[in-house]
A and B are shown apart, each in its own frame.
Chain A
Amino acid sequence: MAKRTLLVVDRDPLARKLVTGRFAALGWRTRNAESAEEALAITRAEGVDVLTTEVALIDSSGQELVHAIRADRDPRVARTMVLFLSAMDRGDDVVDGLRSGADAYMGKPIDLDELEAQLDALVRRAGMRMR
């Protein structure tokens, strides 16, 4: 089975390191980016199965990144599963994040077990969509 690809978008280098490190150990192919522009470039060039993003990025917002992904002409990019992984996790933040087109929302601090379960669920859902 081909390795699933995870792209972690976060301003915090430690968050990027720990999440990508954990999922690499679980057998995922991992990439990381600190800006929306970089994330979009990686998604378009390499294709990713799941993207996790913070709300506040160095060059724009996570919501704008999701809009750009969903509006992409390449259906493979537009279908990327997106999970917000953010320190902003009050009710309104979650509603805004999901309404922007994301598939799931998780608050920080990060529970790596919960994140693993969420990403597995997103990959399953993506597989069902493709059928």
Chain B
Amino acid sequence: MNVPLVVLLALAFVASNGVLIVVMLIRLTLRAPAEAARARWRARYAEVIDDLIMQDREPSGHDIAALIPDNRRQRRVLEAVLAERAGLLRGRARSRMTEVFERTGIVGIALSELVSRRAWNRRIAAEVLGHSRSEQATQDLLLSLRDADDDVRTIAAKALGKIGAADALPFIASLFRDLDEDRCASVADTIVSFGETSHVPREERIAPLVDLLDDSSEKVRYWATHCLASLTRVAQRSKAPETAARLLARLSDPSARVRAEACRAIGSLGLSADAPALESGLADVSAEVRRYSARSLGAIGGAGVLAALIQAMGDPDFDVSREAGRALIALDERGIDAVQGMAGAATGASLRRAMEVLNVAGRVSPL
């Protein structure tokens, strides 16, 4: 009997869909009890851990025994419960979370998984170690900064940041060399917020970045200056001129984004001696560099910057002109007088900018 091909295909389609529906039903049937078990473990772990936090007490042997997971699924639940609380707390309560991470064996297991053959396991292990803030993990995480997997290296850097292992900073900063832009952004966040809760001084974060300012890679120079722009605000004043000198050299970098970040960083340092160099940035071919130069000149202040900022108000780029106006307004009364004077004399686009700046500053235009 000859069965048409179309009928055969239709039958195959119906049969395969039937199998899929059966598989989905089986999975749904199995998932519900698994979810319920996870909710029970979660409640059980949370009860013990929250009691430690609320009663402000050391975990006893009995507590640890109640927390030790029997299998991998329970361990994942316990890790999540601890991670939530460790992220929300600092001080003694956070240290207690670290102790629980260590005494329940989670840190030990994560350290062994850090050398797993599967990259996925290594990523999870690095993440768990970061949540634990356990100093026991520092050496192994340092080795993971050389992992073949980009994500493992990025997550290991983040974990070291959470632990606040200051010795790791030069190695973390060197990741800018071989990671893509997105991961570099993550590493930059790690460096900027490095060990905030363990009080790693900002100066310790600045030194390895300054060392990268002359790197041959544009990407490395950019991310180093980017981090410095966020860190130099409260840099140790005695070392500020030294850092500024290295940043000033970046104002002639061939990359516009490096020059822009260098302007931002110099402005954060706030040394008046740097104002003339920043004024030259107002003539840069890149509007972004001119904009950051104007902003930084406003931050540095002083009588010398007034004329340069008034001139920058006439910049053909709207954002540069507006930034210069805002910098003038922030400067002092003379800056405000200058903008008001411009609003009185200007026409067209220049007038609109001056008016907008005065409006933002809550000042009345002379018109």
Query: Could you list which residues of chain A lie within 8 angstroms of chain B, going by C-beta atoms?
Result: 12, 14-15, 17-18, 21-22, 24-25, 108-114
Contact = CB atoms under 8 A, between A and B. Distances in A.
Contact of A109 (B54, B56, B89, B92): B89
Given A14-B85, A109-B197, A114 B91 contact: yes
B44 to A, nearest CB: 16
B50 interface: yes
B89 A110 contact: yes
Interface residues of B, number: 16
Interface of B: 50, 53-56, 84-85, 87-94, 197
A21 B89 contact: no
B54 A22 contact: yes
B50 A110 contact: no
A111 B197 CA distance: 10
A21 B53 contact: yes
A18 B92 contact: no
Nearest to A87: B88
A21 B53 CA distance: 8
Specify the main secondary structure of chain B where it touches its partner.
Answer: helix
A109 B94 CA distance: 9
Contacts of B92: 111-113
Given A109-B94, A113-B92, A21 B87 contact: no
Contacts of A14: 84-85, 88
A13 B231 CA distance: 33
14 contacts: A14-B88, A18-B50, A18-B53, A18-B89, A22-B54, A22-B56, A24-B54, A25-B55, A109-B87, A110-B88, A111-B89, A111-B90, A111-B91, A112-B91
B54 A12 contact: no
A114 to B, nearest CB: 7
Contacts of B87: 109
Contacts of A111: 89-93
A113 B91 CA distance: 8
B56 A18 contact: no
Contact of B54 (A18, A108, A110): A18
A99 to B, nearest CB: 15
Nearest to B92: A113
A111 B55 CA distance: 14
Contact of B93 (A15, A25, A112): A112
Nearest to B49: A18
Contacts of B88: 12, 14-15, 18, 108-110
A24 B54 CA distance: 8
Given A25-B54, A25-B56, A112-B56, A18 B91 contact: no
Contacts of B93: 110-112
Nearest to B54: A21
B187 to A, nearest CB: 21
Given A110-B88, A110-B89, A110-B93, 14 more contacts: A14-B85, A17-B50, A18-B50, A18-B88, A18-B89, A25-B54, A109-B88, A109-B94, A110-B90, A111-B89, A111-B90, A111-B91, A112-B91, A114-B91
